[in-house]
Amino acid sequence: MSIAVAIVEDSAEVRAIMADWIRSADGFRLVGEHSNVESTLAQLPPERPDVVLVDINLAGRSGITCVRELKPRMPETQFVMVTVFEDSDHVFDALTAGAAGYLLKQVSREELLAAVRQVHEGGAPMSSYIARKVVQWFQSQRTKPQPGTENLSPRESEILRLLARGYAYKEIADELGAGLGTINTHIRRIYRKLQVSSRGEAVSLFAPFPTEPRAPGGPQA
């Protein structure tokens, strides 16, 4: 089945370019285009997109506010920020609001389409510069106590560790020799125990941040 994509972008030119990329690509289906938070909040849920590409600097209210309000209403939908902002405050505000990915606007067509596929499969796509900032922040938190994770079972802790290393849900299932449905059930329990609603929020509570590389030949982030 094709991936249903919606776009939230106030620049008509940028919105048209991204819309053309989606429409012209095999395996993708454009279901909505929006220019501001108000129309997005009203019109996006009935469109039932799998992935939403969201600008931060919208006219009026921020795209981060948009994600924060929509994610609880659309828990199965994945939100990816596509923005010019590369500072830590915007990055972490977006991730804690419920965004599953963060791309800078100089992203190419191929990179954008690959990111949509990745987030749809359970990954967390980020521009390399943004990913480095996220890693550096997590590494800086290694010695700080992280409340909540002590309630996780050993298997849940292992899944959270793999999420923190960038594994997609299917990759975690393969790594642990479990079914994808089982992994999804564990992840829902992790979210419930940690009282979070997104991958970014869950990973932000995980310590110590695992800096060891994946095994040679294993799935790549």
The CATH code of the domain that includes 172 is: 1.10.10.10
pLDDT tens, position by position, 101-139:
999 999 999 999 999 999 999 998 998 888 887 777 666
Average pLDDT for 45-49: 96
Q: When comparing pLDDT for 45 and 89, which is higher?
A: 45
Q: When comparing pLDDT for 75 and 140, which is higher?
A: 75
**Which residue matches tokens 């939100």?**
79
Angstrom distance (rounded) from CA 39 to CA 170: 34
Decide which of 136, 169, 186 is a domain's last residue.
136
On the question of pLDDT at 71 being above 90, the answer is yes
Is residue 42 situated within a structural domain? yes
Is residue 220 situated within a structural domain? no
Q: What is the pLDDT of residue 153?
A: 87
| pTM recorded for the entire structure | 0.64
**What is the domain extent for residue 181?**
144-204
Angstrom distance (rounded) from CA 3 to CA 30: 8
